[in-house]
């Protein structure tokens, strides 16, 4: 039976497409040439769509997917860099509101993650009720490597992962495939890429993602061995960032993973690591609403700083050039400096 499909206009232009497909509202990110990087226009359009569909009784579920080889590789960093003189605080405010809207959405919100999902892409997918990854999925929160911090509700998402795995991902930017994503709780279901279209059609026909998934769910194997996961848990359970570095340094001479993890973290912005450690640990006992409000405080301070723009320069502009962090030494970031990232911003708190 053919499924009735119609385009719906919410102001996304050629960057994001909205369709009514049977009982489903379908969002498709349509910037494949930019790996579906999330723009302010897309954020506003998705917010309008979700607000409308929340009250539309004929929409039983929302499905989001991306065109091309990425679900979404993050936010539009070049746009942020070019607006340095007038920091795009409104972009982040609207993005965080959208993340909170998704996390508390009253209808099933199904993310079909086929390809790269990072940064801003995580914010519009991994807070949904159904987080479906394929064999092509690659998850990462690499922000500390560009002088930023895990945002888009990551302070709510990462602490929920078992055995301090979320803190590990946030402080190293490690890439994760579907097996580790499933076992850690990042993903709720694995589905082979060839089955995404029939899965979407089933959801559109029935309006019941859970029932539809029974026909397509695939249990992928975990990629990381138990011994390594136990070691990660031991290192990242330390009460401070200083103690975490100490634990890695103690094991590095005789443990390849400890040595590799230590080398990776030493490349990251010292400020970003210090802020991210405090942020993720704090998020363990906070609601999503309080987490994005905390992240809004942090981003206001980051946008007035040095390392974020330096990170974008080194990665995207002068590609491959080693970033010059300020301060450059791990341990040089004072507690007072970290405190400054968690104070109320000049323009006031984020309102939801």
User: Measured between alpha carbons, how far is 245 from 240 in angstroms, rounded to an integer?
Assistant: 9
The tally of CA atoms less than 13 A away on the side-chain side of residue 129 is 14
Backbone angles phi, psi at 265, to 5 degrees: -65, -30
User: Measured between alpha carbons, how far is 244 from 235 in angstroms, rounded to an integer?
Assistant: 6
Q: Is 190 a catalytic residue?
A: no
Q: What is the DSSP string of 171-195?
A: HH---B-HHHHHHHTS-SEE--GGG
| Candidate list 143, 180, 295, 310, residue with the active-site label | 143
User: Measured between alpha carbons, how far is 304 from 301 in angstroms, rounded to an integer?
Assistant: 5
- The pair of three-digit structure tokens given for residue 262, joined into one six-digit string: 């230590």
Closest of 49, 64, 81 to residue 313, by C-alpha: 81
Q: Is 331 a catalytic residue?
A: no
Closest of 183, 148, 24, 156 to residue 74, by C-alpha: 148
| Candidate list 12, 74, 75, 190, residue with the active-site label | 75
| Candidate list 15, 76, 151, 180, residue with the active-site label | 151
Closest of 116, 7, 119, 19 to residue 64, by C-alpha: 19
Q: Is 135 a catalytic residue?
A: no
Residues 6+ apart with CB under 8 A from 104: 288
The tally of CA atoms less than 13 A away on the side-chain side of residue 220 is 26
Helix (H) or strand (E) holding 210: helix 209-213
Q: Is 143 a catalytic residue?
A: yes
| Candidate list 66, 119, 120, 311, residue with the active-site label | 120
Residues 6+ apart with CB under 8 A from 136: 69, 114, 115, 193
The tally of CA atoms less than 13 A away on the side-chain side of residue 326 is 7
**Catalytic machinery residues:** 75, 120, 143, 151
């Amino acid at each position: 039976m053919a499924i009735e499909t119609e385009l719906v206009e919410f102001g996304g232009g050629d960057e994001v497409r909205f369709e009514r497909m049977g009982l489903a509202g379908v969002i498709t990110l349509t910037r494949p040439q930019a790996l579906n990087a999330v723009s302010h226009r897309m954020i506003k359009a998705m917010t309008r769509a979700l607000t409308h569909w929340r009250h539309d009784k004929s929409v039983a579920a929302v499905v989001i997917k991306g065109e091309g080889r990425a679900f979404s590789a993050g936010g539009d960093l070049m746009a942020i860099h070019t607006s340095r003189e007038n920091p795009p605080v409104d972009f982040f405010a609207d993005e965080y509101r959208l993340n909170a809207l998704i996390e508390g959405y009253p209808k099933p919100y199904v993310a079909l993650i086929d390809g790269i999902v990072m940064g801003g892409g995580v914010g519009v997918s991994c807070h949904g009720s159904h987080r479906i990854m394929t064999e092509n999925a690659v998850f990462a929160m690499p922000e500390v490597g560009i002088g930023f911090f895990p945002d888009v509700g990551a302070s709510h998402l990462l602490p929920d992962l078992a055995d301090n795995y979320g803190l590990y991902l946030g402080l190293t930017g490690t890439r994760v495939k579907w097996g580790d994503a499933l076992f850690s709780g990042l993903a709720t279901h694995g589905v082979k890429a060839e089955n995404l279209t029939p899965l979407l059609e089933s959801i559109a026909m029935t309006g019941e993602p859970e029932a539809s998934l029974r026909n397509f769910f695939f249990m992928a194997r975990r990629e990381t061995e138990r011994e390594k996961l136990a070691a990660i848990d031991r290192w990242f359970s330390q009460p401070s960032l200083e103690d975490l570095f100490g634990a890695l340094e103690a094991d590095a001479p005789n443990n390849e993973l400890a040595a590799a993890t230590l080398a990776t973290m030493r490349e990251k912005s010292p400020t970003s690591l210090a802020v991210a450690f405090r942020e993720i640990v704090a998020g363990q006992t906070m609601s999503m609403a309080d987490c994005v409000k905390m992240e809004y405080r942090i981003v206001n301070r980051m946008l007035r700083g040095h390392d974020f723009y330096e990170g974008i320069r080194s990665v995207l502009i002068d590609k491959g050039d080693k970033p010059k962090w300020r301060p450059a030494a791990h341990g040089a970031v004072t507690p007072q400096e970290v405190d400054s990232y968690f104070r109320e911003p000049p323009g006031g708190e984020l309102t939801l």
